[in-house]
Copies of this chain bind each other. A is one copy, B any other.
């Protein structure tokens, strides 16, 4: 009865890799649905005829790929991967990159570059409801000027609308990733209602340019906005 169910031992490749592929297939096939817990490790042992070591390694690999979400003592939860999961997988490495010299600047420059292109695109192709959504985000931003915490949230939300306009799910995922990665430096930036008001006006400039279908003005406004913000953030890690 202690006979092995797994017959072939390829011996050149890891058993865990094989298990990973099998579970991946089950997720892709819908056998393991999103949100449902993964079968217990001991069940997987029987099902696939491997040792617990292999199962655990496979689950860990799945988790690192974002296909399952495993909290310390809970059953791992299956996650059909989304575009944000892809970026989340890069999270660990990005942490190191940010710690390296110039890491924050490189990433932030990339964001500015991307976002400048987004507003340019928006000025040319945004639909009416996109512009309305942008307006709503702008209004919410204005209303939050007195409250710096709320202002930060509405600030992020305003920019998020920009990433939604192309209707490509990659962009919102990028926005989430950028804000998550840069937030640690961001929150250290001094904030005040006065600064909030200035930032709101920058947002307003961007909105107006998009509404007026002026790509160059939109791009210029956004660059001015984010470059100014950079100056404020830079002070928080002069040591690097």
Contact = CB atoms under 8 A, between A and B. Distances in A.
Nearest to A24: B96
Interface of A: 3-7, 10, 12-14, 24, 28, 53, 56-57, 60-61, 64-67, 69, 71-72, 81-94, 96-97, 99, 106-107, 109-110, 113-114, 116-117, 120-121, 166, 168-171, 176-177, 180-181
A66 B3 CA distance: 14
A84 B96 CA distance: 12
A97 B71 contact: no
A71 B12 contact: yes
Contact of A4 (B7, B83, B116, B180): B180
Given A53-B53, A83-B106, 8 more contacts: A5-B88, A67-B92, A67-B93, A81-B96, A89-B93, A110-B170, A113-B121, A114-B114
Copies of this chain, complex-wide, total: 2
Contact of A96 (B5, B67, B69): B67
A155 B116 CA distance: 27
Contacts of A67: 92-93, 96
A28 B110 CA distance: 24
Given A65-B93, A67-B93, A89-B90, A84 B171 contact: no
Contacts of A69: 7
B97 A93 contact: no
Contact of A97 (B81, B88, B94): B81
A64 B169 CA distance: 24
